[in-house]
Amino acid sequence: MGFLSIDTGTILFTLLNTLILFLGLKHFLFKPVQKILSERQAAVDRTLQDAEDARTRAEAAETEYQEKLTAAQEESAEIVRRATRTAQQRSEEIIAGAKADAANIRQQNEDELRRERRRAQIELRSEVAGLAVSVAEKVVEREINPADHARLIDEFIESVGDAE
């Protein structure tokens, strides 16, 4: 055949061969490789989606913990506030009690003191009376009727008391 001949048979067979190679390459190379590539793409997409989900969950958990932490902080502050208030109340009560006690004790002491003074006055009075009687006996050199005696003393004391 000539160098630059155009041969119908060659053209037809070449067309057929090209079609065969086209289908063969599609079947043996492109289809399996593209299948693998798309599977890998799907796997990558899935991994990315999983990571995205995990991130969303982590963010939600973080928000939740943040809220819980804030709530706990508020609660603890409330507890401290309440405790402070209670303590203050207690201290005020204690101080008030102490003041009342002190007042009571002072009152008792004052009463005691008054009674002591009263008793001392009475003792003093009777002693003064005895003293007066003996002085009077000495002066009068005679016995006085004890009843008169007592009356006289009382009068005396009254007068003394008035003189005070």
Partner 1 sequence: MAVPHFLTGPEELEVSGAKIIASLKIGSFTLNFTETIVLEWIVIAVILGLAAFLTRGLRVKAVSKRQVIAEMAVEAITNLVRDTMGARWLWFTPYVATVFCFSIFGSLISLLGLKAVTSDFSVLLTWAAVTFVIITATKIKYGGIGGYLKGFADPIPVMLPINILSEVATPTAMALRHFGNIAGGGIIMALVYYGLANVSRMIGLDVPIFTVGIPAVLSLYFDLFSDFMQAFIFIMLMMVFISNAGPADDAAEGTS
CA dist 37 and 132 (Å) reads 139
Q: What is the DSSP-derived secondary structure letter of residue 5?
A: -
65 binds partner 1 (CB under 8 A): no
Residue entry with tokens 């203050």: 88
Q: What burial letters (b/e) apply to 84-102, b meaning 16+ CB within 10 Å?
A: eeeeeeeeeeeeeeeeeee
> How big is the site for partner 1, counted in residues (CB under 8 A)?
35
Shortest distance in whole angstroms from residue 50 CB to partner 1: 16
CB nearer partner 1, residue 5 or residue 145: 5
Contacts of residue 157, Cβ cutoff 8 Å, sequence gap at least 6: 125, 128, 129
Q: Which stretch binds partner 1 (CB under 8 A): 24-32, 67-75, 102-110, 136-144?
A: 24-32
26 binds partner 1 (CB under 8 A): yes
Q: Which stretch binds partner 1 (CB under 8 A): 23-31, 89-97, 103-111, 125-133?
A: 23-31
- Give the binding site for partner 1 (CB under 8 A): 1-15, 17-18, 20-22, 24-26, 28-30, 32-37, 39-40, 43
